[in-house]
Amino acid sequence: MTDRLSARTLGQVPPSVGRPDYDFANLGVGIVHLGLGAFHRAHQAAFTEDAIRAAGGDWGIAGVSLRHADAPAALNPQDGLYAVETLAEPGSLRIVGVLRQALAATSQADAVLAAMTAASTHIISLTVTEKAYRLDASGALDLADLEIVHDLKRPAKPISAVGWLTEGLARRREAGGAPLSVLSCDNLIGNGRKLQDAVRTMAAHWDAGLAAWIAAEVAFPQTMVDCIVPATSDASRARIEAGLGLTDQACVSREAFAQWVIEDRFAGPRPAWDRAGVEFVADVAPYERLKLHVLNAAHSALAYLGLRLGHQLVREAIADPELSRFMDALVSEEIAPALSELPVADYWRGCRARFANPRLDHRLTQIGEDGSSKLAQRIFPLLIANARAGRPSDRLAAVVQAWLELAGQGRVKDPQGVRLQSWAGSGSRPGEVMGDPALFPDAFRTEPAVHRTLMGRAD
């Protein structure tokens, strides 16, 4: 039987595999991260380790899995070590050691809150997906959401990401804790501002003094993150095991490209992320808009339209001649005009090359999940902008219609799946579905030009 990756077996790893060249076992924790998924392990954790290697500092990460214990169960027997496989020509493997704690919130609530409260913790970051913020169609905290209702009534037993963060900040205030920076690393327009508003809203319902303390002591910088991280598969695990000569139950794969842009607005210390390639800027919005409305919007388009055509992977969908032409026209004729001040054409060329990576098995079903949350960020703002300006949106509308069809059939997972399947079962047309405020923002009901955007189809 193959040995398992751990601090004890690290010396068995071949010399070609990168490994921590610092004293990771004694690294202090300076960051608590909510959402211990593959993206964080492949992206922010790797950037943080590179910053430690460049400039030192106790910036170990306490990773928290809010829903399931799978990630901590995989990481803890490995002493927090895991491999990152870079899918490129040539590819590479590295062992990351910056993850110093792996906690399951469902069974280790006291440890999670203690980590947030610790004086050594200066940053709390999140990658929990768009839906986990529990926002309504306007982008504000949804006070009718069942998880939010629970957390407002039982703040000491949170279940939502916003609830965990707010309770952690409440305990930090009670302990006389130092100022803190909170980094949302999810694909939300204005992610820092929206998270700040959501946390302050929840805090104000608990304690006006807490809300005031958060306003004075906690910074919520805007961020933009970018790296394609496909779901780990049996095939990728087998490749990584062959490269390590060890079993790794927590390994991840990613493309070579990675970008992290952060608003330069912190309440306290931060790692030397700039020494690892992170960009600190005064305004994240241009980077954010390119990412969300070009790369992410194109990903969603490929997911729904590609699945309809029988494709399974992004690289298969972008190689389809007809769909490829559709995507070029979508970007040049409907997305670029809505982002006229940004270098959309050059950015799209880079995206196309990344999508076509022959080593990247990025499944369309993975991208297609949670469309009701994702399209609200990626596609709807473009439709609204084009409608108001009198510009065409037929191809954007076709993407939304494909999502309605697939989610209505239960072919892609969606937090509004029951609602979507109910609409589909009633034989409703898009014009009727737009009346549902849980699925579409107010502009689709109150502005005739916006309402009409979904009534036609692309050629």
In angstroms, the CA 20 to CA 30 distance is 18
In angstroms, the CA 406 to CA 371 distance is 10
Residue 15 shares a structural domain with residue 109: yes
Residues 245-303 pLDDT 10s: 999 999 999 999 999 999 999 999 999 999 999 999 999 999 999 999 999 999 999 99
Bridging pattern class, strands 252-255 and 259-263? unpaired
Tell me the one-letter amino acid at 45: A
Q: Which of 256, 283, 310 is the C-terminal boundary of a domain? A: 283
Residue 137 shares a structural domain with residue 275: yes
What is the total count of domains within the chain? 2
Tokens 């927590």, residue located: 250
The set of residues, in sequence order, having a beta carbon less than 8 Å from that of 154 and lying 6+ positions away, is: none
The count of residues in the chain is: 459
Residues 355-379 pLDDT 10s: 999 999 999 999 999 999 999 999 9
pLDDT attached to residue 32: 98
pLDDT attached to residue 427: 87
The two tokens of residue 39 are 């993206």
Residues 296-329 pLDDT 10s: 999 999 999 999 999 999 999 999 999 999 999 9
* Beta-carbon count within 10 A of 113 CB: 20
Q: Which of 230, 263, 283 is the C-terminal boundary of a domain? A: 283
Q: How far apart are the first and last CA of the chain?
A: 56
pLDDT mean over 35-55: 98
Give helix 371-378 / helix 297-308 axis angle, nearest 10°.
Answer: 130
Query: Any idea what DSSP says for residue 231?
Result: P
Question: Do residues 124 and 183 touch, judged by C-beta distance below 8 A?
Answer: yes
Q: Which long-range contacts (CB under 8 A, 24 or more apart) does 356-360 make?
A: 356/315, 356/318, 356/319, 357/87, 357/88, 357/228, 357/255, 357/315, 358/315, 359/87, 359/88, 359/89, 359/91, 360/87, 360/228, 360/230, 360/255, 360/314, 360/315
The two tokens of residue 21 are 């060249």
Residue 125 shares a structural domain with residue 231: yes
Tell the burial category of 16 from Cβ atoms under 10 Å away from its Cβ (0-12, 13-18, 19+).
exposed
The two tokens of residue 242 are 């062959």
pLDDT mean over 399-419: 96
Question: Do residues 135 and 118 touch, judged by C-beta distance below 8 A?
Answer: no
CATH code of the domain in which 254 resides: 3.40.50.720
Residue 269 shares a structural domain with residue 300: no
pLDDT attached to residue 137: 81
Residue 325 shares a structural domain with residue 190: no
Residue 80 shares a structural domain with residue 157: yes
Residue 347 shares a structural domain with residue 215: no
**Confidence class for position 27, pLDDT limits 50, 70, 90:** very high
Is residue 4 assigned to a domain? no
* Beta-carbon count within 10 A of 406 CB: 23
The two tokens of residue 38 are 């593959």
Rounded mean pLDDT of the chain?
A: 96
pLDDT attached to residue 459: 34
pLDDT attached to residue 332: 98
Q: Taking 70 as the threshold, does the pLDDT of residue 458 lie above it? A: no
Helix (H, G, I), strand (E, B) or coil at 90: coil
In angstroms, the CA 438 to CA 126 distance is 24
Question: Do residues 349 and 406 touch, judged by C-beta distance below 8 A?
Answer: no
Partners of residue 253 on adjacent β-strands: 85
DSSP class per residue in 264-319: S--SS----GGGGTPEEES--HHHHHHIIIIIIHHHHHHHHHHHHTT--BHHHHHH
Is residue 428 assigned to a domain? yes
Tokens 């095991």, residue located: 241
Residue 177 shares a structural domain with residue 113: yes
Q: Which of 283, 305, 339 is the C-terminal boundary of a domain? A: 283
- As a whole-number percent, the residues of the chain with pLDDT over 90 amount to 95
Residues 93-132 pLDDT 10s: 999 999 999 999 999 999 999 999 999 999 999 999 999 9
Partners of residue 95 on adjacent β-strands: 83
In angstroms, the CA 340 to CA 331 distance is 12
CATH code of the domain in which 368 resides: 1.10.1040.10
In angstroms, the CA 347 to CA 452 distance is 30
In angstroms, the CA 197 to CA 139 distance is 9
CA 54 to chain centre: 26
In angstroms, the CA 382 to CA 338 distance is 6
* Beta-carbon count within 10 A of 391 CB: 14
Using CA atoms, how far residue 210 sits from 34, 201, 207, 213, 215, in Å, is 21, 10, 5, 5, 9
Is residue 3 assigned to a domain? no
The set of residues, in sequence order, having a beta carbon less than 8 Å from that of 440 and lying 6+ positions away, is: 137, 380, 433, 434
Residue 264 shares a structural domain with residue 329: no
- Taking Cα atoms as reference points, which of 265, 266, 239 lies closest to residue 252? 239
Q: Taking 60 as the threshold, does the pLDDT of residue 457 lie above it? A: no
**Confidence class for position 54, pLDDT limits 50, 70, 90:** very high
Is residue 2 assigned to a domain? no
Q: Identify the H or E element spanning 340.
A: none
Expressed as residue numbers, the domain containing 304 is 286-454
> What phi, psi does 455 have (nearest 5°)?
-90, -15
Residues 200-218 pLDDT 10s: 999 999 999 999 999 999 9
